[in-house]
Structure formats: structure tokens, C-alpha cells
Amino acid sequence: MTKLLTQKSRDILQNKLNGKNKLLSYTFPIDFYDPLDFFNYQSSTFKGNRFFWKSSDGLLWTVGLGIAASISADDADKRFQITNNQWNRLIKEAEIDNPSGVPGTGPLLFGGFSFDPYSNNEMEWENYGHSILYLPSYMLTVAENQYYLTINVVSEDDRINIDTLRTEGNQFVKQLRKKNNSSSVIPIKIKSSEEVAPNKWLRSVEEIVHVLKTTDVKKVVLARKLLLEFENNAQPSYVIEQLIEQQPTSFIFALEVGDYCFLGASPERLIKKTGNHVLSTCLAGSIGRNHDEQEDQKLGETLLKDHKNRFEHELVVSMVEDALKPYCAEINIPNEPILMKTPDIQHLYTPVTGKANNDFSILNVVEKLHPTPALGGVPTNAALEIIREKENMDRGFYAGPIGWTDYQGNGEFAVGIRSGLLNGKKAFLYAGCGLVSDSVAEDELKETRIKFQPMLKATGGESL
């Protein structure tokens, strides 16, 4: 294996984790390499088997090419546990050479989970299933301005060892440095856009508000979608590039499965773990922005004082606290929310910090946190039943957890909002809003139009 892995080799490595295969992983520092150029590297070879991640603070970027192994779970009830168990089995017997020990380097699992495995299934989400997470063949990690390359192989072949991967790594870096390796990025041109069944959605809002006024259900989050058609095939790399530029304080993510790519710019962290430090963020209650600074400040003050939005926000804070208690030795929560401002929207924001105990596993905690009241409702099960009946669509991975965990137990998951699903010359964009008993249908429709903006702008569209 003194040359790059062939496509046949990569296909062999995309195996089921049957207990006989062994993971070998080698990580080493490299000179500067642009993450987006890495994502585009030999795109004709790796397209459909790539992921991209930028943390909201820009301190961690990780990009994966190829699939050494993938984990997916068909069991809707046990998908988080199955993923966690298979990942632990894989790394338990692994041979890992990673002198840096930097979080986000070495063997790393990246992917996500559908919002609701019991919702109506639609064709566009068929390839993603209930969950899918990749261990990449090649991975670039940028951590605090240091660059690392990780090579992973899962194989029964005893002839493959760490020395083999070192040779492979040197050859791969030489190939990276050659000119004209990266594909050109072609801008997207929107041919048409269509809000999917807006009048039916408005009726659903009114029906749900009636339920909220007459039952013990406190909140339901209702989502809808926008269909875009393009003049040319949409390249994920173009959208990622636009999102990085336009949404610098958001999590930028992309997960390809075959011809589809789920990607977006989420402002909302679900959970982060570094060592024993735990961070979750509560993001619920939102209002638009204004180009005039004083008017924008007034909007923010209105949001901070708004009873409906504060009620929504407090539901999320309470739920996150309850979910983290069994896994944290201590939890710290500010008494009042502050504002988080993104280019198109401002939110009520409360950070929740804690210290992980010995029972903490990031995938298990993701299961406990998902869905938060910001994405599902309160009480959770009752809200999900209403969503299944009234939303009339498959959210797929929209509003589901997406992120990564490494072999050391570090990781970070965001909520897959401000997102869309690309497929050739079309895309679906998704947006939702929280309904409470005093919600007004037309106001909620306007809110979703604001929330379409990040992805609409990134694909070259204009305001609705």
C-alpha cells in the first residue's frame, strides 16, 4: 500500500463491523491546507462519501474523505445505543498512533440521526435512514491553527500495520501538494423556488394552537419546507463556502450520502465535551434583525421581554438541566438569558456548563437531549404525536443531532437547523417555529421565512 487506496480498496473497507476487523489509525501534523480544498480533493473519487464540520467558534475544523467504516442502525428505539456500542467495540481493540492527542484527531466518528424515526418516510431521505455515521479513510483536522492528517483503515489483513499507514500518509500528502488537485467550484443559479403547501401549513398551525389552548400540551414545533430548482447541479462545496462567509458564528456542517448532501449553518449546539468539561446551549425564542443599529437593539430588547418567547426558552433550559443531571457532577446555569445574534436572526441564549461524571457518554447524552423543546415541544411525546399528524412531511435529518465523537470520548453535536438537502438540480430547505397557546399563524409563517434565509442566501436566492 505504497500508493493511494484504490476505489476497490475503499469499497472493501466499507465493511460491517463484524468483530473480526481491526481499526488501525495514524495521525501526524502537516503544513497548512485549506479545509474546503481538502473537501474538494479528488471529488470525482470521494463524492458521496465526504463530511465537513466547522465549530461555531472556528477553533475546530474537520473534513473527512472516504469511508473506512460506517455505522447505521435500523432499530429506531436503540439507534443511539447501537451506535455507541459498535463504536466502543471498534476502538477498544484498535491500534492508534496519535502523539498529539488533540481532541478531534485520531479515529473519529462523524454523522447524525434523523429527527424522528417514526415519522412519515419520504424518498429524499431514504439513503440516510434513522442514523448514519462515518469513520473516514482520510481526515483533515484544524485545531487552534494546527493541521493534522489522520488515516484510518478497518481490515482483517494482518499485512496492514501502522508503518504501512505512515508510508500511505507520506504519499497522500505528496498528492495533496500537487497543483490542480482541487475541483473548480461552480456557483449555483436558482431556476425557481416554491413554498410547499403554505396554506395547508397555516391551517395546521391554527389546529395545533387550538389543541394547545384546550389540553395540557404546552408547546409544539412545526416545520415546513421550501423546494428549490437550479439551472445547474448544485455543488455542496459552493454552498459550504457561502455559509462560511455569511454565517461565521454558526456551526457549518455537511454530510454526503450518495447523491444527496445534508448541510447547513446551525447556531445551536446540543452538547460539547472536552475532557470532563461539558457545555450545552439553550436556544429558543427568536426575532429578526434590522440594519439600523438602534432598531436592531430595540428588537432584541423586545425579545428579552416577550412573554411567549421567554416561556419557550424556559422550557428548553429546564429540559436540558434535567437531561444532564445524571451525567454531570455539577451544573451551572445563568439566571437570565442573553441575546445571540446571527446575520438574519437573534435568539434568546443560555449556556449550560457542567463537569462530566464517569457515566458520561456523548452519544447517550445526545439521546437524552434530543429532541429539546426548541425542536419538538412539551411534553415531548405528545408534541411528537401532533407533529406526525399535522406537519405532513418527513424532516429527515433536519432538526436532528449532527456532529462528531472521537476515540477519547470528546465530541460536539449541533442541532441540524438552518439546513437543507441538496440533490443534483434541486434542494429542499427546512425551517420551523415554536407554537404556544397565543401563537398567530401568519406571524409564525413570517418567522419561518426569516429562518429560511441563511440557506436561501447561500444558494443564491433572495428573500421570500
Active site amino acids: 219, 268
CA–CA distances in Å: residue 248 to residues 15, 39, 55, 244, 390: 36, 18, 10, 5, 34
**95: CB partners within 8 A, 6+ apart:** 22, 23, 24, 25, 161, 162
- Quick check: 249 and 267 in contact, CB under 8 A? yes
Residue 369 CA to residue 375 CA, distance in Å, equals 11
Please choose, from the candidates 128, 125, 93, the residue with its C-alpha nearest in 3D space to the C-alpha of residue 107: 93
Most distant CA atoms of the chain, gap in Å: 69
- Adjacent-strand bridge partners of 195: 226
Please choose, from the candidates 46, 159, 139, 30, the residue with its C-alpha nearest in 3D space to the C-alpha of residue 407: 139
Residue 181 CA to residue 257 CA, distance in Å, equals 22
The residue with cell 423556488 is: 193
Q: Which helix (H) or strand (E) holds 97?
A: strand 95-97
Q: Look at residue 27 and give its three-state secondary structure.
A: strand
CA–CA distances in Å: residue 279 to residues 175, 271, 422: 39, 6, 31
